[in-house]
Structure 1
């Protein structure tokens, strides 16, 4: 049985089978997601490097503060959601059909799939979840372009704590 017995500094303490544990409060998780949402706005100005720097600063700070808590599932969900948001920004910044096609081809997508996706009239959010775009812009590419892996940061921090 799990009982929550305290909220302190946006950390929720609980007792499970005689062991005391903690996790971030719902409001802390929501504030974190809202900060990331603001940083990954489609209309945000700035270079890719600046966006990555800001995202990394927020995520590293959040992980350092809440790293002792149990939140593996939440971290995995946020990582997936953040990758989706970044693909959406990239897709919007490519703007023209010609650019989208060239970039997709450059990242290893075949002619047919690249033409189909580049000429799609679907919205940015919907396209950013397309399997073809996931093959073109992988998690590894996002990491190579400067994004820190939140799951890896959490694992390192949680193991230390």
Structure 2
């Protein structure tokens, strides 16, 4: 999984390809290990996975201007009450990619609900815990 979500590798390929590969690995793991008790592991793994996917998405946007416009677009689509100033702070911060993706603004805008939405150009991200519980 770490190999799939490396910033260099995942940032250079389309998000649809990354999501497809990650979904295949998650489904394979859950189907293989579903007889064991792995609920606690999947809770922690789901958090880590969503964080790494947020890093890849922010890394693909690259420029502060593009990060700002995309976060504003998501903010308007979800009708959130996140201020322009907060989004501007996140877009123009000089923190690293991993640290930048820990903020509450990005965690709220790129929530599991948003990441799980399938679009025409990409599949939605499978939540490992929900998939595991549906297979039990």
Provide the rounded CA distance (Å) in 1 between the counterparts of 2:109 and 2:132: 26
Structure number with the bigger relative contact order (C-alpha 8 A, sep ≥ 6) is 2
Q: Does residue 15 of structure 2 align to residue 37 of structure 1?
A: no
Q: Does residue 91 of structure 2 align to residue 124 of structure 1?
A: no
Larger radius of gyration: 1
Where in structure 1 are there 5+ consecutive unaligned residues?
1-35
| Offset from partner CA, 1:119-156 (integer Å, 9 cap, x none) | 10000111111101111111111111411111111102
Provide the rounded CA distance (Å) in 1 between the counterparts of 2:36 and 2:85: 46
Q: CA RMSD in A?
A: 1.0
Instruction: Determine which of 65, 72, 82 is the counterpart of 2:49.
Output: 82
Q: TM-score, normalised by structure 1?
A: 0.74
Q: TM-score, normalised by structure 2?
A: 0.87
1:65 Cα deviation from its structure 2 partner = 0.6
Residues matched between the structures, number: 123
Provide the rounded CA distance (Å) in 2 between the counterparts of 1:120 and 1:98: 12
Aligned to 2:18: 51
**Partner SS for 1:121:** coil
1:110 Cα deviation from its structure 2 partner = 2.1
Structure 1 runs (4+) deviating above 3 angstroms are none
Aligned to 1:153: 131
- Further displaced range: 104-113 or 93-102: 104-113
Work out whether residues 68 and 157 of structure 1, in 8 Å CA contact, stay in contact via their aligned partners in 2: no
**Partner SS for 1:37:** coil
Where in structure 2 are there 5+ consecutive unaligned residues?
76-81, 119-123
Instruction: Considering fraction of residues, name the structure with more strand.
Output: 1
